[in-house]
Structure 1
Amino acid sequence: MTQHVIIATGSIFGMLAVIFGAFGAHALKKILTTDQLQSFEVGVKYQMYHAIVLLALGMYSGTITAATYWCFTLGIILFSFSIYGLVLSDSKGKKIRFLGPVTPLGGLLLVSGWLLILINLF
């Protein structure tokens, strides 16, 4: 994976985290319960944390494996975006239940990305 792709991916996820965070804080504040809003914010936070990791990895002069990149990229999509889907569908009274098991898979990919960084260190 090229540094440009990694940085671009991190930038896109970071930008979307800011947009989704603002959307949650303003537009959704009147629609969601406190618990739903907190869950939505967890998705935004994890998306931003891992967007920053992708930026750092893209700026790192060492070798980053494609597996590390994909673990973080797919992890963000599966973890954060499944939370967004669960919260928004629940707020409409039609919770998309198949997304429930997707969230921990995304979390597992994020953990795997961190583990790959550690493995690459050695």
Structure 2
Amino acid sequence: MTLARLFLMAGALSAALAVMLGAFGAHGLRARLPADLSAIYQTASQYHVYHALGLLAVGLLALHVPAGGALRWSGWLMLAGTALFSGSLYLLAITGQRWLGAVTPLGGSAWIAAWLLLAWAARGIGR
């Protein structure tokens, strides 16, 4: 499977999952979560969508530049960041287990690295 296909598919599936989980939070959990946990769930959903779009950007960029290590790592770090950041916040909101908040910055760090690597990979456009 090409890098472009891999991350375009991952981005599309991640976006679908973000919509499903967002709808579940908005409709299925609305009456069950206190306001603070509902806000945490909303943050998880919002950032999930942004980074699903980021995965699509990785896949689209892979169509235009050689699939080097920076682009590959960017995609994998976007996925890891989604699991760690959004995943930990979804679970924190549903379970109330506050220790899960300690995992969240790891996901944020993965996302920062992913975006920096994506910028590095994009420098090859038009060469």
Do these two structures clear the TM 0.5 threshold for a shared fold by scoring above it?
yes
How far residue 96 of structure 1 moved from its aligned partner, in angstroms, is 5.8
Q: Which residue of 1 aligns with 2:86?
A: 80
Percent of residue pairs bearing the same amino acid type: 34
Q: Indicate if the aligned counterparts of 2:78 and 2:114 stay in contact, CA closer than 8 A.
A: yes
> Separation in 2 of the partners of 1:103 and 1:63?
32
8 Å CA contact 2:92–2:101 kept in 1: the answer is yes
The partner residue of 2:65 within 62, 66, 71 is 62
Shift of 1:120: 2.3
Structure 1 segment 84-99 matched on structure 2, within 5 A: 84-90=90-96, 95=97, 97=99, 99=100
Stretch moving more, 112-121 or 38-47: 112-121
Alignment coverage as a number of residue pairs:
117
Report the secondary structure of 2:29's partner residue: coil
Q: Is there any run of 5+ residues in structure 1 with no aligned partner, and where?
A: none
Partner of 2:14: 13
CA-to-aligned-CA distance 1:66-110 (integer Å, 9 cap, x gap): 2111110100010000001111111xxxx162x222100000000
- Superposed displacement of residue 34, structure 1: 1.3
What TM-score, normalized by structure 2, do the two folds share?
0.85
Which amino acid is the alignment partner of residue 36 of structure 1?
L
List gaps (5 residues or longer) in structure 2.
none
Residue 31 of structure 1, CA deviation = 0.2
Contact preservation (8 Å) 1:80, 1:103: yes
RMSD: 1.4
Shift of 1:118: 2.1
What residue identity is the alignment partner of 1:62? V
